Structure formats: structure tokens, C-alpha cells
Structure 1
Amino acid sequence: MTTPFRQSADAATTAMREVFPATPLMRNDLLSTKYGADIWLKREDLSPVRSYKLRGAFNAMRKVIPAHDLFVCASAGNHAQGVAFMCKHFAVRGVVFMPVTTPEQKIMKTRIFGGDHVEVRLVGDYFDQTLAEAQAFCAGADGHFLSPFDDEDVIEGQASVAAEISQQLGRAPDRIVLPVGGGGLSAGCRSYFGKETAYTFVEPDGAKSLAAAIEEGAPVDVSPINSFVDGAAVAKLGARTFARLKDVSSADILNLSEDRICGTIVEMLNVEGIVLEPAGALAVEALSEIADQIRGKTVVCIASGGNFDFERLPEVKERAQRYAGLKKYFILRLPQRPGALKDFLQMLGAHDNITRFEYMKKSARNFGSVLIGIETDDPRNFSQMFQRIDDAGFTYTDITNDETLAQFVI
């Protein structure tokens, strides 16, 4: 059914074709076979800025030019790059505020996309500080502030993802699985398709802003948040996006742990050659949670972005191994006697590899503490290893899932 929103989103999509082509909708044989369904990936990681964020920026900017020629935003990543790209396209001035802690790769890409049209200002250690500075500057300079999600024109622009899916598939899919941050993409796609399809909204464990808003009946701040899934780590859902999502069923909202998402990033990279950022992997990983609901169905997963800094790959692999039970860290209480270490090493199995070993001998004590990291090829190997250690009378503490201690020593 055609609605006024759908008509305006279609018009925005048509206008975008003058700037960049539609992103591919690609059937994935691996996932289709795994889940007994017809699984398609909407590859927003293949947009000119490797995320869908330039869609909303384009639509919001085109509607206020030429009345405004100065655009301001605050962002630590994808939104900044989308705004920068569009400032250069429209030949207008942009000032992008980013936290001082923003990775250099993202700063560099924003400057490349914006060229001479964009100034990047690094302000604040935390995003709230950056946002306040950006809004104060915008008000004083009579600029136009571009929200990353809480803007009707941005929501309409993000709905172009749904418009393209409809064109490419020839109909609405049976289900759309998509990540949620501030809600712009979710609000746009749901407003476009309405009840023609089913939805699964996926949030990271450390930033469940949609789930909290649905429970409370209004957007609420869920700070402090875990920023690992930076493309979806938003502390508070937008007021305008919530207005379009307020009747979502809590049963259609999933949350996934940050470590679990890392397994999908590694698998998609190693098996499919697809580079996904953490937020971009949310929808793919969620399929395992809805396997019974999607069997035999046509499902579109929105791979929302691929701005992945490969310097993070060791951390991502580490998190994936820990979640899968293939790597553990523990502190061993080792007797200070000759041969004690040799006795311990005999407890290890043929597939248990030591990846971390730190021992500080203190001559005034009868026991010393050893930090040990071990990886294996089957989670069951650890239960067997720990049983041997217990039988030998060694004392140890498993710290693998102790986030505070793990951040300090791992």
C-alpha cells in the first residue's frame, strides 16, 4: 500500500541516484543453507562511505539548501563520514565535531570525504561533551545541525534502504533483520513497509536503548553504555524515531553480547570475504536466535556498515574465542618448589596452547601467582584440563568472564 511517507521516501531514493548507485541486495548461500531459508544481505557496507549514513545526510541537506550553506554535526564515525561526503557533493561548508578519542582512521576518512569543504574539530573525551560543543557552535554560527537519527528528513532518507529492497526483491521480504542504535534506520524501514513484513530489531547488550524505551513508554538514557559496537552504541533513542517505533513488540527486539558479535565478524571475513563493523554484524548474528521463525522464509539482513579498523582485529578475534569457549584466562596459585611448573604443564592436553604466561616469583612466599592464557580447538578440552588440575591439587581462579579484571590484565 502506497502511503505519503512511502512516496516521499521513493522520491528521495530517486534523487540519490544522481549521487551514488543503489547498494547491492545479495543472496547469501552460506546463511541460506545454514538456516533453511532464503537469506539476503543488503550491503550497506558497499556504499561510497561504507555505511547507510550518507542517505539521511543527503536527504536532510537537499531539503534546506540553499537556505543553509553551513552544516554542523557531532559524530565519532559513520555519520561524520556521510555528512562530509555530502558537503563535498553539494559544495557547502561543513564542520564536524569528533571526540578526541576517535580513531585516527575515522578522522582521516572524514577529511578525505569532505576535502576542502569540511573542517574536523576534535573536542571532548566523551561524546556528550562533543555534542554540546557542536550544538553551541552551530547556534552561534547560524548553521544547520544534522542529527544522526532524530530528524524526520534523516529518517526519510534512511528509508531509501527499504525502497531499494522493495525494488531489488520485487516485493517486501517476509522478515527484515536490522540493527538499532538511535533508531533512524529502523524507523525509516518500518515506516516504509508497515505491516507488509515482520521485523527483528537487534541491539548490543551494552546499549539497549530501544528495549528500554519500549518498556518505559518513552526514550530513556541507558548510560553508561558499552561503546564497542560503536555504530549502534546509543544511550538514548531519538524522540522522533521512538514515535515511529513505540508500538514495536518487545518480542521482536533482541540483544546480543559484544563478544558474540565478534564471532560473526570473524566468520564473515574468513569464509565470505565480507568486512563488517560490529554494528554491521548484528543482523547476521541474530539469525541464530530466530532460526525457527525464518525457516522457509525470505529474510533480508541489513549489513549496516563496514567501517572496520583492522587494528581492532586481534581484539575481535580474542573476544570471539572467549565467547566460543576456545580461550580462557586464569590465575594459577603455583607452589614455589622445584618441578612445580613442570607438574602443571603435564596437565595440558595435546590441543591446549599457552598464549599468555606471566609469573612473578616472590621469595618470601610459599606460592606465586601465574597469569595464564590458553586456547584450544574444542571447548570440552577445558573441562577435561580443569579436572586434571583439580585432581593434582592446584588452586586457580578463572577470570575469563570477569570484565573488570580482564580489562586490567588481558
Structure 2
Amino acid sequence: MQQAKDGVTLADIMAAQAVLRGVADATPLVPSPYMAARCGQDFLLKLENMQPIGAFKLRGALNAVANLPKGTAGVTCCSTGNHGRGVAYAAAQRGIRAVVCMSSLVPQAKVDGIRALGAEVVICGTSQDQAQAESQRLVQAEGLVEISPFDDPFVIAGQGTIGLEMLEARPDLDTLLVPLSGGGLAAGVAVAAKAIKPGIEVIGVTMDRGAAMHLSIAAGHPVEVEEVPSLADSLGGGIGMHNRLSYPICRDLLDDTVLVTEEEIYHAMQVLFFEDRIVAEGACVVGLAATLAGKLPAPRGPVGTIITGRNLDMQMFHRIMAGDDIQLGDTLVKGRRYGT
């Protein structure tokens, strides 16, 4: 059995699978004929947007909360949206308090979704680093337990169950394209996939502005990045300057990291909707975007990617589907009607 840094192993992921069984597992793995035609191999979509909270983050949050010490009064976390939703859901199931710290860049739809699950939301600053600082303050001031969105062994193990399910369903998968942010998903999937099938390619894909993990791997150590508005807002934020787990795992196990532009994300969101009839966040489609843009080598066998969530601003989604221009801070993403 292959062991990753600091003891996150296939055994840990299999233990998480038992915790999640019947609650946050067995999401569909469906083929995309359009993407298969574009890449020349079967192309599979793991539909984590079908989770009860609309995102894969429920897996890691449920596993982390299930492993909290008895008597834990409450939890806190920083989040770009979906991790906070997962923590809120898991805390409510256990009957404990949850406080989610978020930056002002997080879309209001995600803030509202977290509050609807019963968690408290604290908006602080314009970056994930500032939100994390507030979460850590709450640990000291109020005795809450912090659950990192990516640098936590139980979170990583929970996300890794996606890799298990994909290879259980399709053992012939040759390449996994994994949305890459703080690295909890990529780390967990890579540990699972490489343990089961060492020759499989696991590639992290992220937006080309504020790509914290990509830049950290290139530098050989965690680096700070400037956060900017993005269609892939769920991939925003740093990885933490003292990252213990997700950074070394991603550094050691990812075969490559690839960047995509906002225009490529925009187009891939249209492709996923018009060709596969799937509503998903911009962060979900980066694997499609890299494939459509020709940024990946020709695959040797079937390809799988993860449609990570559906918790997006629907007004923005409607504008993208209509082909409108989108203003993201100082950046204008030029739109186009699909098929023209």
C-alpha cells in the first residue's frame, strides 16, 4: 500500500468510505459523448454536484466532524463557499455549533446557502487568508475546533473516496483531471488512485490567476497569491504558508498541474450545459476547459473528471449561457453565444 505524507493512506480513505456510506457516496459517473469525441477516448463525469449540499465538500466535512472528540461544542472554518456548506450540514447532523468565516469575494448565493443550513457566517476581509485568521481567532477565543478546507487528514481522506468510487466503477481509467485549489480534493484523489493503480495520471487543473497550489509546487514551497474574482471562485484562496498535508501530497503525487483562462472556463461551462445538460460552477469545468483548449497530452485511455458543485450565482450562469460579456473585477471576459 502506498503511503502519502503524514500517514494519509488508502486505509484512511477506506475508513472514510465507511463513514460516508449511504449519506454522501455513490454519486453518478456518466459519459460525455461530446467530450469523448473531442479527446478521442471515453470521457467520464463524476457528478458531485448531485450531493445533498450540491458539492463534493460534504465528504470531507462529514468525515472530519465524525472524527471530532466527544464533547466538542462547535466547529469553525474558512471557506469560499462549499466547504462551509459541508461543515454546516455535518455540524447540524451532530447537533453542534458551526461558524463559517468567509471573505467578501464569496458570492452571496453561497453565503445564503450556508446560513440556510443553520451555521453562523462571519464576513471578514477580501481574502481566504483573512478569513482563516478569523477562524483561528475563534479557536482561541471561543474554544471551537477548526476544520481546514484542505489541510486536514480526515478532510483529505473524505475527498479521496471520490477516487475510490471512480476506479471501482471504471478500473480502466487512465487519466484523472482534478480541479485544484487548496489541494484537499487533489491530494485525496491522488492518494487513492495511485495506491490502486500506480500508473494512472492525476493532473490538477486550476484558473490562471491566483493559482496558489500550482505556483507553490513550481516554487518548491507554499507561496502567497493575490486573490481576484474568477468564474472558478471555488478555486480561490491560498494554501496556507504552514501547509502540512495537501501541499506535499500534491507536490509528490500529481503528475502535472495545468492552468486555464477565464475565457476557457466560460466556454467549458457552456459546453457542459448545452452538450451534457449539466448546471455546474466554473470551478467544476476546468478539466473540460483544459481538454477543449488542447492543453493536455493525448490520453492513452479513458479520462475522468469531477463536476465538483452546483452552488453558483444563477443570474451569472444565465448570462454566460446567453453569451453575455462578464465583468470580473478589473477583468472583462468577452462572451459569445454557444455554437457561433
Same fold (TM over 0.5): yes
SS where residue 305 of structure 1 aligns?
Answer: coil
CA distance in 1, matches of 2:73, 2:88: 13
Letter in 2 for 1:318: D
Change in CA separation of 1:270 and 1:243 when aligned onto 2, cut-off 3 Å: same
Q: Cα deviation per residue 1:206-228 (whole Å; 9 max; x = unaligned)?
A: 12222222221111112244444
CA contact (8 A) 1:326 1:376 kept: no
CA distance in 2, matches of 1:291, 1:130: 34
SS where residue 148 of structure 1 aligns?
Answer: coil
Instruction: Tell me, yes or no, if structure 1 residue 197 matches structure 2 residue 203.
Output: no
The residue that corresponds to 2:316 in the other structure is: 312
RMSD of the TM alignment (CA)? 2.7
CA contact (8 A) 1:172 1:197 kept: no
The TM-score with structure 2 as length reference comes to: 0.86
Quote the offset at 1:2 in angstroms: 7.0
SS where residue 166 of structure 1 aligns?
Answer: helix
Change in CA separation of 1:53 and 1:263 when aligned onto 2, cut-off 3 Å: same
Identity of aligned residues (%): 27
The residue that corresponds to 1:74 in the other structure is: 78
CA distance in 1, matches of 2:338, 2:53: 38
CA contact (8 A) 1:326 1:377 kept: no
Letter in 2 for 1:206: R
Task: Specify which of 235, 247, 256 is matched with residue 252 of structure 2.
Answer: 247
CA contact (8 A) 1:54 1:86 kept: yes
CA distance in 2, matches of 1:326, 1:51: 26
SS where residue 247 of structure 1 aligns?
Answer: helix
Instruction: Tell me, yes or no, if structure 1 residue 232 matches structure 2 residue 235.
Output: yes
CA contact (8 A) 2:324 2:334 kept: no
Quote the offset at 1:181 in angstroms: 0.2
Return 5+ residue gaps in structure 1 as ranges: 328-374, 379-410
Instruction: Tell me, yes or no, if structure 1 residue 173 matches structure 2 residue 173.
Output: yes
Quote the offset at 1:248 in angstroms: 5.2
The residue that corresponds to 2:9 in the other structure is: 5
Change in CA separation of 1:270 and 1:87 when aligned onto 2, cut-off 3 Å: same
Alignment of 1:113-152 (within 5 A): 113=117, 115=118, 118-152=119-153
CA distance in 1, matches of 2:185, 2:289: 18
Change in CA separation of 1:315 and 1:138 when aligned onto 2, cut-off 3 Å: farther
Change in CA separation of 1:76 and 1:254 when aligned onto 2, cut-off 3 Å: closer
Change in CA separation of 1:209 and 1:107 when aligned onto 2, cut-off 3 Å: closer
Change in CA separation of 1:129 and 1:57 when aligned onto 2, cut-off 3 Å: same
CA distance in 1, matches of 2:201, 2:339: 38
Letter in 2 for 1:218: H
CA distance in 1, matches of 2:338, 2:174: 40
Letter in 2 for 1:122: I
Q: Cα deviation per residue 1:244-277 (whole Å; 9 max; x = unaligned)?
A: 122357x722100012101111221123210110
Quote the offset at 1:125 in angstroms: 4.4
Change in CA separation of 1:164 and 1:377 when aligned onto 2, cut-off 3 Å: closer
Letter in 2 for 1:51: A
Asked which structure has the greater RCO (Cα within 8 Å, sep 6+), the reply is 2
Q: Cα deviation per residue 1:334-371 (whole Å; 9 max; x = unaligned)?
A: xxxxxxxxxxxxxxxxxxxxxxxxxxxxxxxxxxxxxx
Q: Cα deviation per residue 1:257-316 (whole Å; 9 max; x = unaligned)?
A: 012101111221123210110110101112232565215x11111112221211113553
Q: Cα deviation per residue 1:216-244 (whole Å; 9 max; x = unaligned)?
A: 11111122444442111223364411111
SS where residue 231 of structure 1 aligns?
Answer: helix
Letter in 2 for 1:150: D
CA contact (8 A) 2:178 2:203 kept: yes
CA contact (8 A) 1:222 1:236 kept: no
Task: Specify which of 92, 105, 108 is matched with residue 109 of structure 2.
Answer: 105
Task: Specify which of 15, 18, 28 is matched with residue 14 of structure 1.
Answer: 18
The TM-score with structure 1 as length reference comes to: 0.72
Alignment of 1:162-311 (within 5 A): 162-169=163-170, 171=171, 173-194=173-194, 195-236=198-239, 238-247=243-252, 252-288=256-292, 289=294, 292-294=297-299, 297-311=301-315
Quote the offset at 1:178 in angstroms: 0.8
Q: Cα deviation per residue 1:63-114 (whole Å; 9 max; x = unaligned)?
A: 114242310112231111011111111121111223355433212211222x
Return 5+ residue gaps in structure 2 as ranges: none
CA contact (8 A) 1:202 1:255 kept: yes
Larger Rg: 1
Quote the offset at 1:19 in angstroms: 2.4
CA contact (8 A) 2:233 2:283 kept: yes
Quote the offset at 1:121 in angstroms: 2.8
Instruction: Tell me, yes or no, if structure 1 residue 30 matches structure 2 residue 34.
Output: yes
Change in CA separation of 1:186 and 1:264 when aligned onto 2, cut-off 3 Å: same
CA distance in 2, matches of 1:29, 1:323: 31
CA distance in 1, matches of 2:222, 2:174: 28
Change in CA separation of 1:22 and 1:220 when aligned onto 2, cut-off 3 Å: same
Change in CA separation of 1:105 and 1:8 when aligned onto 2, cut-off 3 Å: same
CA contact (8 A) 2:16 2:158 kept: yes
CA distance in 2, matches of 1:255, 1:63: 35
